[in-house]
Chain A
Amino acid sequence: MMTSNDIRFSRRTALKSLGCGFGYLAAKALAQREAHAAIANPLLPKQPHVPPRAKRVIFIFMQGGPSHVDTFDYKSRLAKDDGELLEFDDARTLAKTKKITSHRVFKSPWRFRRYGQCGQHVSELFPHIAEHVDDLCFIKGMHTEGVAHGPSTLFLHTGSINLVRPSMGSWMLYGLGSENQNLPGFVSIQPSSGNGGPRNFGNAFLPAIYQGTPVGRAGTPATTARIENLYNDLLSPANQREHFELLRALNAEQLSRRPGDQELEAVINSYELAWRMQQHAPKTLDLSTEPAHIQQMYGIDEKGTDDFGRQCLMARRLAESGVRYIQVTYGDNSNNPRWDQHSNLPMHATHAFNTDKPVAGLLADLKQRGLLEDTLVWWGGEFGRTPYAQANGTGRDHNPDGFSVFLAGGGVKPGFSYGATDEFGHHAIKDKVHMHDLHATIMHLLGLDHERLTFRHAGRDFRLTDVHGQVIDGIFS
């Protein structure tokens, strides 16, 4: 097996590839310089494959599977046939028994109405987001893999339901580098430790430098969320600096016995980067400097919305600072995460309330700062929910065969809707977009060709989309 994280690989490849065209020494010198740069900082911005339409991503993860037929995918047929027992090829039943069974059609308890110039339907669950529909690009023919949370959540983040694969943010960072060398390039705010946990922001076989950096974790208050090991509560800033100077001096002494050793210099550089992160990241994550009216936009200090509002505001501050890939998670650590209303659909109202204003605030704030132009916002869950009641009860089961997400900003058509589910909202039927396709599309918007962004591991080239994925150019502005 390759030692996949061997950062010297690039040097070797460069050396081999250059060996043919130049004189050996010139090639070696060049290779060494390049390798030196790569070792010194593999996170420097890299040239994209195609002209990018966006520079960064904010992924708003709605964990547990929000119901599309109760939010953005309006289906009049549900009201019409409410209570009828009809046959559906339910994904879970099919996986377990290979049978098609009858289920009770279950109309949405929430009213829909049209909003904006585009006339997009939004239910009363999201009155604030509804005000922004003319900035949003809905994808309503989504479908994905897996029936349970674990597999589908991993698939959403890594493109595989079970195998260990790098997460999307890691691929992005690997492909594009970071615009800010004082902050991590891939940040996951309050990630869930359930349903795959760290694998959802992990680097798998990509070099470790591309792993996501968690800020806090789900289930703890956003006010306490911070990057681990970034703070030293035992030392005063002056002592920290003095201590760091000691490290510099002792390491310089050790390095002097091996002058020009790039691997050791890389270690020294990693301390310098860590030191800079220590100076900058806490300020970036400190929301207290934001004026009251901005905090209000996000619903901070308001009941219900305070926590997620803080996460969204942190996301904006990170985006503003040039972080490449930012994920915020509305979730928890259980096996039945927040939006997972199998038996109590009305609970959706709580989750919608908690996230509606923060998300709308984020959209408005990005827009007013001009950040929406080169930031791609992605809102969605790991799957949708069934248009019929689960077990004839008062909730909905998972539905990987049809659901909605929305994108906004960097390079997508505003006030647009792409694709459709059937008349019940069960299966995607028109302009279907598989999760692999969405991955390919988002990568394309950032300037990456999902077929070219590969990494050699265990004897073959891997990519986020495996051998799948089609770029959906129909949504490009």
Chain B
Amino acid sequence: MGYARRSICWAQPDQLTVPLPAESAVVRFPCCTLASFSALITICVAAAAEPAEPTAFFEKKIRPVLVQHCYKCHATDAKNVRGGLSLDTRAGIRRGGESGPAVVPNKVDESLLVSALRHESFEMPPDRKLPESVIADFEKWISMGAPDPREGTARVSQSGIDIEAGRKFWCFQPIANHDVPNVDAVAWPASNIDRFILRRLESERLTPAADADRRTLLRRAYFDLIGLPPTQEQINAFLQNESPEAFEQVIDELLRSPHFGERWGRHWLDVVRFAESSGGGRTLMFPEAWRYRDYVIEAFNNDLPYDSFVMQQVAGDLIETSDWQEQRRNLTATAFLLLGPTNYELQDKETLEMDIVDEQLDTMGKAFLGMTIGCARCHDHKFDPIPTHDYYAMAGILKSTQAVIHSNVSKWNEVSLPMSARDEALVEQTEMQVAAIQKDLKSLKAQLSKAGGKIGDGATSIDPESLAGTVVDDTQAEKKGTWTVSQSVGGYVGGNYIHASESTASVTFAPILPIRDKYELRITYTPSGNRSPKVPIRIHHAVGEDVVFVDQTTKGSVSRTIDSLGVYDFDPKQKPRVIISPDGAASGVVIADAVIFIPEGAAPELAVPSEAARKAMQERAALKKKLTSEIKALEEQIKQLQTTGPQREVAMAVTEMEVVGDIPVSIRGLVHNPGPVASRGVLQVALHSEAPNIDGDQSGRKQLAEWIADARNPLTARVMVNRVWYWLYGKGLVPTVDNFGATGGTPSHPELLDYLANTFMEDGWSVKKLIRRLMLARTYQLNSQPNPQASSIDLDNRLLWRMNRRRLDAESIRDSILLVGGNLDLTIGGSNIAAGTSSEYGYDFKSTRRSVYVPVFRNELPQIFATFDFADPNTQIGSRSSSTTAPQALLLMNHPLVMKQAEAAAAQLLSRQDLTTAERIHHAYEQVLGRTPNDREVEIAARFIGDEPQTARWGLLYQTLFQSLDFRYLK
């Protein structure tokens, strides 16, 4: 097959600060690819010395070919020595390039040059294959020992990156203590932040905008801190509070609200690409991911110091503590490493492991350090001082961390969560009891199985326990669409059967089979004249999928209600399942009852009992009945034990690998193309002290986390304060919040950034104190009115002469609409995926809980999220996009969520008999927009409403307010 192609990079340096001439073409730096001879890593080869005694065969057959076809790209004086391979010296050809020796004397098969000429490994020359005779000459020459008179040594320059020079870039400089600047308008600043901002404005001859009016300010603070609008009562309380500390009081109150963590936790979930499914082609559910979400919300609510927050997410499992609750939190936090979009279906497991490591590094780099470390997987970073070696130094740490458990479709690592000693003892006791009962149960079941798995025809109901093999009853199957439970026709398995006739209905029987084997597949149904004569049964077995049609108007091949569909190979690992659906069936009712998997050879045939056998059968039936009731009793006991008392819970979490160690650099990112080993470590350019010491038996993850969370790390605090700034102001001081490198933007106020980073750390890495400080700055409290004169100097408002107007994000839109409709469920925490969900496809997002609790599936998002630029959970996103599209308009015009909540709000409004139409309009405006309407607005609305108070009409008015500009934008 083709060679793995890796992705790569067309990059260009930051344009923002470099004006380009109108006609200038975009300058591109092609950045790498694998598996072609085009990598740019420069390898210098010393000039060849005088040739020694030439060998006739080489001179005649080999050298001319090399000169003519190869030297252009593979010689010391080539413009670009491709793939680090130079073929113009003996040393060069034998040492080879990045993929290994080109020629191994006497070993044709190990000589890459030959397979490249044959177009088997590489395809060389790239334009066309050389004639067979020429290739044969090369094979002969190598067999001769590859005599080569060409002297000269191949010298290799390791890396083009100068780490020391790299440290001079602004973001790698230590965080400095800058003096707070003096300003001309001494009365204006409310804080030191304002002095930094005003100083720049004054130097550009800009004056700050006026302060925002109090309603605007309050609305801004509510959405920023808890993601919900203030109620009328809250607005009135603020307007009436004349204390100079009124706004400060609001901030403190909101910071104490449990909804603060929901709002700010969601910000963080964007940064760490949180999702509840794996995404990609075959997306798998992450049923335990919510624990991480709740951990994050709690961390923000409790104002967990940010350095600890980092430590816990990267290495929580390695933090020593005797407090079991802390242990739980620490373990849960490490889901950070596992929540990535991973293609667990990938068949090449070595590549899968490196893909996971790559994703972890990429996310960690961007989230904590603002570095695009991932670029260094295949080559030295083109723009930032990150050599490939550094990438693999950190990759070695993560490769020594257990993240994935392999099988055909692999799975993420899970860990049992610790409990209190008392609960632990109770659970252990329960587990022992259950184990003991299960032993008895096993023996009883064996006896029952021996007694036969066949129940006579015509019985009202067949006890599934009496059937041989693995039985999946309809009650255990996963149903979609409308199915009706019935007992009208006897002979079904278990308590009932089900039927459907709409093609959207389907039911999936997924057995838990012990081993891969051939199984006879049986289905049961209750035949009758009104049934479909042709029902498709889709069988997903180990080697694919078959569809078998069953005529449900007539009796089955085994008995009246049992039909055999043949023998299939089922492998428990491949999720065997049988799907029954009216989709594709001939007209008639489609019955689903039970599906039975009988290991081949173990299926005793059912026959109509003879007179003689009847008595034996009755005895056996009695025995079976006795066994069955005993089994039932024991099972009930187990259920009782398992559902009462504490439960053992699991979380997505990492652990240390049993075998840890350094890994080799993968040349061009190809895991099967190893280069020199990189000893585990961290980014050299951001090293703030001695390189961490990683012992032989540790992964090094703890050291990695400590290095990130260190006050001396030049990136960590800067990146976080910039994020918080972005979340409050809509733009970062560094505009590229995830990229502080050379391709990112530079800070508009570098001294302020450092000032904030320092105070952040002095405050014990308290995010709440940082937020408070940023919001109490006068700069935050400015209005967002346009000013053409200021715009002509600073169009993008990078200098912050006003507040940025921001579009309401998807969650705020949804939550506000539900809140106004009186239907927002404010329950806090816990899993929120509907019980019984096994796939995200077609998921019905009907929860009315706050948006942060709506399941985040990588391939299926609620429409309102997808439409209003919710962070794509497939990738790390520090700053969301903000688009304006027709689908957004359509959603607000026609989506049932919007219409229903609007009508609910209208019904509530009309229930207040005491209000006039004008008062009601005022009320609706305040509820939705946080302001009062002007006369003209009242007039337009009143005309639309008319004289009759109709709920539908008022609903449409609410809906219009949801659609309006003042709702969609935060001023």
Contact = CB atoms under 8 A, between A and B. Distances in A.
Interface of A: 1-8, 12-13, 15-21, 28, 39, 89, 91-92, 94-96, 143-145, 147-151, 153-154, 160-164, 184, 193-199, 204, 207-209, 211, 213, 219-221, 228-232, 234, 239, 242-244, 246-247, 249-251, 253-255, 258, 261, 263-264, 266-268, 270-271, 273-275, 277-278, 333-336, 340-344, 347, 390-391, 393, 395, 400-401, 434, 436, 454, 456, 458-463, 466-468
12 contacts: A1-B737, A1-B739, A1-B878, A19-B19, A145-B2, A162-B280, A198-B859, A229-B890, A267-B965, A400-B2, A454-B26, A456-B12
Contacts of A341: 544
A150 B345 contact: yes
Given A274-B890, A462-B10, A347 B956 contact: no
B546 interface: yes
A149 B346 CA distance: 11
Contact of B885 (A198, A228, A255, A270): A270
Nearest to A162: B343
B185 interface: no
A153 B282 CA distance: 11
B776 interface: no
B604 to A, nearest CB: 27
Contact of A204 (B24, B366, B872): B872
B778 to A, nearest CB: 23
B644 interface: no
Given A1-B737, A94-B1, A249-B940, A459 B863 contact: no
A342 B545 contact: yes
Contact of A333 (B366, B736, B841, B963): B841
Interface of B: 1-2, 4-5, 7-12, 14-16, 19-22, 24, 26, 28, 30-33, 280-283, 341, 343, 345-348, 355, 366, 372, 383, 503-504, 540-541, 543-547, 583, 735-739, 741, 743-744, 785-786, 792, 795-796, 805, 841-842, 859-860, 863, 866-867, 869, 872, 874-875, 877-891, 893-895, 899, 934, 936-937, 940-941, 944, 956-957, 959-961, 963-966, 968-969
B1 A91 contact: yes
Given A3-B882, A460-B31, A401 B1 contact: yes
Contacts of B957: 246
Contacts of B959: 243
B841 A193 contact: yes
B883 A344 contact: no
Nearest to B940: A249
Contacts of B886: 184, 209, 270, 273-274, 277
A264 B784 CA distance: 14
Contact of A199 (B503, B739, B874, B936): B874
A32 to B, nearest CB: 10
B355 A162 contact: yes
B522 to A, nearest CB: 19
Given A1-B738, A234-B899, A270-B888, A460 B881 contact: no
Given A197-B841, A335-B282, A460-B10, A208 B881 contact: yes
B281 A196 contact: yes
A150 B649 CA distance: 31
Given A209-B883, A274-B886, A454-B10, A254 B33 contact: no
Nearest to B936: A253
Q: Sorted from nearest, which 9 A-B pairs have the closest CB atoms?
A: A150-B281, A342-B544, A5-B881, A459-B743, A460-B11, A274-B889, A343-B544, A208-B883, A197-B859
A388 to B, nearest CB: 14
A251 B890 contact: no
A459 B370 CA distance: 12
A4 B881 contact: yes
Contact of B5 (A145, A149, A459): A145
A194 B279 CA distance: 10
Given A250-B937, A273-B889, A336-B545, A12 B795 contact: yes
Contact of B743 (A28, A163, A267, A460): A460
Contacts of B934: 253
A1 to B, nearest CB: 4
Interface centre among B4, B543, B887, B960 (most CB of A within 10 A): B887
Given A28-B792, A459-B736, A7 B541 contact: no
A267 B890 contact: no
Contacts of B966: 254
B544 A207 contact: no
A434 B547 contact: no
Contacts of A6: 881-882
Contact of A340 (B28, B32, B545, B888): B545
A89 B281 contact: no
Nearest to A399: B1
Contact of A196 (B280, B544, B867, B944): B280
A436 to B, nearest CB: 8
Q: Is the interface of B mostly helix, strand, loop or mixed?
A: loop
A4 B872 CA distance: 12
Contacts of B5: 145, 436, 466, 468
A344 B545 contact: yes
B587 to A, nearest CB: 12
A461 B26 contact: yes
Contacts of B737: 1
A347 B547 contact: yes
B899 to A, nearest CB: 6
Given A231-B894, A459-B383, 10 more contacts: A5-B882, A151-B345, A164-B875, A209-B886, A213-B887, A251-B965, A261-B786, A263-B884, A342-B545, A460-B743
Contacts of B875: 164
Contacts of A344: 544-547
A209 B841 contact: no
B346 A246 contact: no
A402 to B, nearest CB: 10
Contacts of A15: 795
B2 A154 contact: no
A193 B860 contact: yes
B869 A5 contact: yes
B719 to A, nearest CB: 12
Interface centre among B24, B872, B882, B890 (most CB of A within 10 A): B890
Given A1-B877, A198-B859, A456-B12, A208 B872 contact: no
Nearest to B863: A228
Contacts of A462: 10
Nearest to A277: B886
B881 A143 contact: no
Interface centre among A154, A162, A220, A221 (most CB of B within 10 A): A162
Contacts of A336: 540, 544-545
Given A1-B877, A208-B869, A459-B744, A95 B348 contact: yes
A198 B842 CA distance: 12
Contact of A467 (B32, B372, B543, B963): B32
Contacts of A234: 899
B798 to A, nearest CB: 11
A162 B544 CA distance: 24
Contact of B12 (A18, A198, A461): A461
A263 B963 CA distance: 15
B372 A95 contact: no
Nearest to A261: B786
Nearest to B25: A452
Interface centre among B33, B796, B880, B882 (most CB of A within 10 A): B882
Contacts of B895: 229
B893 A232 contact: yes
Nearest to A90: B1
A258 B11 CA distance: 38
A277 to B, nearest CB: 6
Contacts of A342: 543-545
Contacts of A258: 785-786
Interface centre among A1, A266, A460, A468 (most CB of B within 10 A): A1
A27 to B, nearest CB: 9
Contacts of A213: 887
